[in-house]
Structure 1
Amino acid sequence: MKTDHLMHIQFTPDRSLQEQIREHVIDNIQRGVFGDSALPSCRKMASMLRVSRNTVVLVYERLVDEGYLYSQERSGYYATEEARKKCDISVGVQQAATHLPNVKPALFWRKRVKTDLDKQRNVVKAADWQQYPYPFLFAQPEHSLFPLAHWRECGRLAQRSSVIKDWISDSVDCDDPMLVKQLQVNVLSKRGISAKPEEILITVGTQNSLYLLADLLVEKGTKVGLEDPGYPDARNIFSYHGADIEPLRVDPQGVKVSSQMAGCDYVYTTPSHQVPTNVTMSMDRRQKLLDSAEKNDFIIIEDDFESEVNVVSQPSPALKSLDSNGRVIYVGSLSKSLSPGLRIGFMVADANLISEVRKLRRLMYRHPPSNNQRTCALFISLGHYDTYVRKLKNSYKEKWTLIRQLLEQHMPQCVTDETLGGSSFWLRLPEGMKAGEFAQRAQKVGVLIEPGDVHFMHPERESFSYIRMGFSAIDINMIPAGIEKLATLLEPDGW
């Protein structure tokens, strides 16, 4: 078989040339392009791909080490027999797949799945949101702020032979002791929380923490009080596990402490920045909530959401730090402050509860990836996390201040309660305007916002007039024009 055919790769800048060439060669081997003939020489391959000869040499030598190629003196490189056998198998599978009979839709699955998750209401974001000039979306990062070089450095340090031995083995149900220590010293301490290692569990984010708690503590008939409006996935998770949800109203001081809580087994709250209104729970309200928990024998699940990004005052101490009776389960996350894709969260609670949650976690996924835990631990220990959070806070403060001024100037009728920061604004549209329709019209002019009705347990007419406007992802230079476009849509002729 001739191998002097033209080979071409559309290289992308986000991956190394060697990696892309290696994949291309393996793909050609698996498709039987080379058969038992020699591959193009290093010099010829380099000329076709317009890369250096040394780059191709390194790729070929790596493929030899991996068992895809073998070198024959004065003849060249050939695909190994084992690699060609894999090719025959894959071709056979593909051929078999093309001769499968027409398969009817498996309708019986609807009867076997125990619940219909499609009925849950969730926040929906445009998949191509990055293509829009004015993405006022919540929980999406500003990529330019992430300290990529420092994260790579920590990843490299985690790969040292002296460190790999700490995390390469299966840890069964244990967490990286270095990360637990860093959380104790450099994260929880800033929230006023003192916790022993046996009182801390690493999870793959806040949602995972809530799911573990619901799976362990909730059964049909368990009453869970949730802020209303509140975090949709907390409602979805506890409802999925059979809980009776008690909606708890929110005012400018946070969740209202009322007689409704007396019948609750658990109360979930976001005191640092209430989701979605962003109000911060006052110190007086925090103490009243703790007193009510003790008096009425319920447990508080504290989601310490966006605690680091108060922009006009110092953060209030966590509820957990004020708890003297062991009634607060604290869940936090590095995903929101560091990176949503990192999926590192943590839970702090009584050691007996953590022990039981750890056993349940082992049945699900044993523990979060140890190498990610160690990389994160190094990132915190070297001071990069604190530096990044300060940079993030400064960015949020600058954007928050600008947006607040622009809202007062262009959309004063939409401003709701005064907040201390966070990464979004909770706005109410003028009477008669529906948030869903408003968001669709905004999208047509390049502005993305989120309708707020999903945050209400029982959507009513008034809930359809709220919108959530995040600002973590949008370039600060694009904010004025984006808000001016929104303001235009508020005018009668803007519709």
Structure 2
Amino acid sequence: MKPLGTNNSQAVTDVTWRRLFGALTKDGQALNLQIRRMIVHAIETGMLSKNTRLPSTRQLASLLGIARNTVTTAYQSLIDEGFLVSRERSGIFVAAGGNGRIKARHQADAVDDWSSRFAIKPSGLRQICKPRNWLDYAYPFLFGQYDPALFPTNNWREAVRAASSVKEIQGWAGDMIDDDDPDLVEQLQVQVLPRRGIFAGKGEIIVTIGSQQALSMLVQLLVGPTTAVGIEDPGYPDVRNMVSLATRNIVGLTLDRHGVLPDDDFVSRDVTFLTVSHQCPTTAVMPLDRRQQLLQIASRENVVIVEDDYEADLSIESDGDIPSLKSLDAEGRVIYVGSFSKVLAPGLRVGYIVAPPPVISELRVLRRLMLRHPPTNNQRALANFIALGHYRQHLGRTGAVMLERANLIADRLPDLVPSCRIIRGQGATSFWIEGPPGFDGRQLMDLARQSGVLVEAGDIFFADPLAGRRYLRLGFGSIATHRIEAGLFRLAKLIEKSVERSGTGLRDHGRQPGCHPAILV
């Protein structure tokens, strides 16, 4: 990397400065912050050496097509921080060199075969893969992502500012060891959990880094090499993978149109992992009588149930709300997992577990060994967001938008793809699509991606990929409402072409156009 300048007299051309600030964008972070970051990076990597003269504020503003005050603010901040120095009648200069050029480090590897040293090999497991740049696609029908237009930016900023006073910082900046932010725990108890019929007492809640960490810790705590575990099939792939790393004593639980059946496979298990409110991925909503039956049998056979209520607060059709399994549990055998990822943003990474105090106590020690505790600044900001009433307001606004999208898809899609079964449990934020025999969901997913449409192949949710070959999951939390119809038309053309090529059609399903039957029998 060649430095841009080494002394006062060395001229640096406009072309070079344009290259240095080439990544500047008016759609991203504040311009003065971007300029500061780019200059600091250039100094630290040796691209800008000591005593290199920077353009005047007027010159750089003109070169970049931005306000002069923006450049002045950036320069002054870097002067205050010691990266730049202002010399009277001479200009602005780099004050000191950074760490020098960053070079790739190469060294001999003393271990010939690292794979032989791995106790486990997670990379060998089948996992959900979504494009990292999904926002760049015109029609992202993805589940689990979020629509940036729905994020409550101003209200979140207010909550963050409220958590950023000197007094608040003193409250959360210290090492909490294995504890959680008491404000967030209180808001969970008062405003969040009661919506699901859950009233948690002292010592019954632990905060996690999303539901993912919650499930991982529960697997570590509850599942040993000989533990008999039941998981849904189809079900959440990450739970299947977590459990498979801990034990081989796994049974895929039988599903019907109402979710898990309390059959012989269920009663033979020590622990089961269930998604009863919106079964993943079929979206089936387990009715109240099935939930009660499940709990009665679990009590008789001493089965522990982990309830993953991953999108509880986004139950967008309130008339069909059914109490969570945890709220019906009188014995404390249901461990409840919740998250804010689906309703706010996945990047927030805040989840929680509700369980009897002995379970929470062990989880606290386990979490401490992993990472001590989740970032308390995020916990406090979220607590403020809920306490100020923003969370309830956001749920109302988001729910209305999601319901509009759900109705639009339910109205259009059956007529566009008459060869498929289309399923959505009440309140769910995705549709489960079953193609006719011979349909290949993964092939369709790849073709759709080339056309700017993102959907998820269903085979990843099945223990046997061939059993899920005919399925697709279509989410609508991440796609703007005005893009849905055009995206559906594009997707439908690809699906029907695929069906024609496979030589199958509506008659293979034995259904009538416009029907929305459950897929499992």
| TM-score between the two structures when normalised by the length of structure 2 | 0.86
Out of 304, 313, 322, the position equivalent to 2:309 is: 304
Query: SS in structure 1 opposite 2:127?
Result: coil
- C-alpha deviations, 1:51-79, integer Å up to 9, x for none? 55544443333223323234555555544
Task: Name the structure 1 match of 2:505.
Answer: none
1:225 aligns with 2:230: yes
Deviations 1:395-439 (A, max 9, x none): 121111121122332224422556213111111101221212222
- Are residue 12 (structure 1) and residue 25 (structure 2) matched? yes
Letter matched to residue 319 of structure 1: L
Is residue 2:149 matched to residue 1:144? yes
Q: Percent identity?
A: 40
The aligned counterpart of 2:508 is none
What per-residue deviation string (whole Å, max 9, x for no partner) do you get for residues 297-318 of structure 1?
1111001122233344332111
What aligned pairs does 1:360-379 form with structure 2 within 5 A after superposition?
A: 360-379=366-385
**Distance (whole Å) between structure 2 residues aligned to residue 55 and residue 417 of structure 1:** 52
- The AA in structure 2 aligned to 1:190 is R
Superposition pairs of residues 222-301 of structure 1, within 5 angstroms = 222-301=227-306
The gaps in structure 2 that reach 5 residues or longer are 1-6, 503-521
Partners in 1 of 2:323 and 2:152 — Cα distance? 28
Contact 1:332–1:347 (8 Å) recurs in 2: yes
State the distance in 1 between where 2:393 and 2:281 align.
27
SS in 2 for 1:341: helix
Q: Show the counterpart of 2:190.
A: 185
Q: Which moved more, 1:58-67 or 1:402-411?
A: 58-67
Structure 1 residue 421 corresponds to structure 2 residue 436:
no
1:193-204 equivalences in 2 (<5 Å): 193-204=198-209
Residues 60-209 of structure 1 mapped to structure 2, 5 A cutoff: 60-73=75-88, 75-80=90-95, 83-84=96-97, 87=98, 89-91=99-101, 94=103, 97=104, 107-209=112-214
Q: What pairs with 1:387-406 in structure 2 (closer than 5 Å)?
A: 387-406=393-412
**Structure 1: unaligned runs, 5 residues or longer:** none
**Cα distance per residue 1:149-175 (max 9 Å; x no partner):** 111111112111221111111111111
Residue 258 of structure 1: how far off its partner (Å): 0.7
2:336 is matched with 330
CA distance in structure 2 between the aligned counterparts of 1:123 and 1:347, rounded to whole angstroms? 24
Give the whole-Å Cα distance in 1 for the aligned partners of 2:273 and 2:221. 15
The AA in structure 2 aligned to 1:199 is E
In the alignment, which residue of structure 2 is the partner of 1:345? 351
The 8 Å contact of residues 191 and 321 in structure 1, kept in 2 or not, is answered as yes
Query: Do the aligned residues in 2 keep the contact of 1:228 with 1:456 (CA within 8 Å)?
Result: yes
Are the structure 2 counterparts of residues 53 and 424 from structure 1 closer, same or farther at C-alpha, using a change threshold of 3 Å? Answer: closer
Q: What amino acid is the match of 1:396?
A: M
Determine if contact 2:430/2:475 at 8 Å carries over to the other structure. Answer: yes
Distance in structure 2 (CA, Å) of the matches to 1:273 and 1:213:
20
Partners of 1:128 and 1:90 in 2: CA distance: 32
Q: What RMSD, in angstroms, separates the aligned Cα atoms of the two structures? A: 2.4
Query: CA, structure 1 residues 73+127, in 2 after alignment: closer, same or farther (shift >3 Å)?
Result: closer
Change (3 A) 1:413 1:197: farther
Pairs within 5 Å for 1:442-457: 442-457=448-463
> What amino acid is the match of 2:287?
S
Query: 402, 425, 436: which one pairs with 1:430?
Result: 436
Q: Which residue of 1 aligns with 2:519?
A: none
Paired letter, 2:34: Q
**Any idea what SS the aligned residue of 1:90 has?**
coil
Q: Which of these residues, 327, 335, 350, is aligned with residue 321 of structure 1? A: 327
How far apart in 2 are the matches of 1:254 and 1:129? 30
CA shift at 1:47, angstroms? 5.2
* Letter matched to residue 330 of structure 1: Y
Q: Is the 8 A contact 2:48 2:94 kept in 1?
A: no
Distance between the aligned counterparts of 2:487 and 2:55, measured in 1?
54
Q: How far apart are 1:134 and its partner, in Å?
A: 2.4
SS in 2 for 1:279: coil
Cα drift, residue 467 of structure 1: 1.3
- The secondary structure found in structure 2 opposite 1:336 is coil
Whether the 8 Å CA contact 1:180–1:197 is kept in 2: the answer is no
Opposite residue 443 of structure 1, the aligned amino acid is R
Alpha-carbon offset, residue 239 of structure 1: 1.1
Equivalence map 1:29-44=2 (5 Å): 29-30=43-44, 31=46, 33-36=48-51, 39-42=54-57
CA distance in 1, matches of 2:490, 2:64: 47
Residue correspondences, number: 484
| Gap change, CA 1:310 and 1:48, over 3 Å in 2 | closer
Q: Partner residue of 2:74?
A: 59
Q: Could you report, residue by residue, the CA deviation over 1:67-120 in whole angstroms, capped at 9, with x for unpaired residues?
A: 32345555555444xx32xx3x423x63xx58x57x679651111112222221
* Partner of residue 385, structure 1: 391
Question: Is 1:407–1:415's contact at 8 Å kept on the other side of the alignment?
Answer: no
- For residues 451 and 291 of structure 2, the distance between their equivalents in structure 1, rounded to whole angstroms, comes to 42
Does the C-alpha gap of structure 1 residues 284 and 440 become closer, same or farther in structure 2, counting only changes over 3 Å?
A: same
Partner in structure 2 of residue 459 of structure 1: 465
Cα distance in 2 for partners of 1:219, 1:244 equals: 9
The residue type paired with residue 312 of structure 2 is: S
CA distance in 2, matches of 1:348, 1:128: 34
Q: Equivalent residue of 2:305, what SS?
A: strand
Query: In the superposition, relative to structure 1, how do residues 55 and 448 fare at CA in structure 2: closer, same or farther (>3 Å)?
Result: closer
Residue 384 to residue 46, structure 1, CA distance change in 2 (3 Å):
same
Find the aligned partners of 1:216 and 1:165 in 2 and give their Cα distance.
33
Rounded to whole Å, the distance in 2 between the matches of 1:74 and 1:446 is 55
Instruction: After superposition, give the CA deviation of every residue in 1:223-277 in whole Å (9 maximum; x if it has no partner).
Output: 1111111111111111112252111111122210111122211011111100001
38 and 445 in structure 1: CA distance in 2 versus 1, 3 angstrom threshold: closer
